[in-house]
Structure 1
């Protein structure tokens, strides 16, 4: 006894396969390559209690050079609280290190919370925020900087 597949079932599976292939191609086309890699990030600061505490050391490199990049710290709403470097030439693959003391551009200690690194590469039209956070003055917080990072949030 031979099994016959109906035309409707054949069309259904053909359309399902075409939909899945299209979805994979769209996601792949819209997902940018990882252009920012942070190699060192001190994840806890306490500038309010200990003004002499060591600043957070942030070391990173970019995968695309840019002669006019900017480096900043943003809050949880992605507002810039501290501009670490408004205009810097970043070379692809070359590590750079910045220190952040937990203070805003005006010099005041930032509010307790979670902050992240933002790097803009204007010539590449990339504005990237590293997902790992720096925790500032959060008593009882147990920041976890270990584990594999998620992809960079590319806007």
Structure 2
């Protein structure tokens, strides 16, 4: 018999940590899977915070820096405090920031959590719906594309 040594398919650091996979299920719900050898803190925190959230059906490239941007939504803003405590368990391993702001059209406050990883930015917004967040992001992308096209036209 031959001994096969399998090499990883990519040298990039996975967005959620080695051995942790996020899958989109029916209704755009995120389900977290992990292998037994995954970092136990990463596995516990990612599962606790992201399992059963809404995962937007597209991935964007963040600000031209070639980082994938994943977007998640939790409609219940009150869950943010509990999740913040979980996310602090990462310590300095993950660069995590919290931003509270007014939602669109008087929809109340929203809390944005951003986890900056070497090759990805993971966004989680509390206090909105999947539909509202999808519309907000698509509007943002359209505005950015028009602005870039205008600058290209102006500079030509």
**Larger proportion of helix:** 2
* Bigger Rg, which one: 1
**Larger proportion of strand:** 1
Q: Does TM-score exceed 0.5, indicating one fold?
A: no
TM-score (norm 1): 0.23
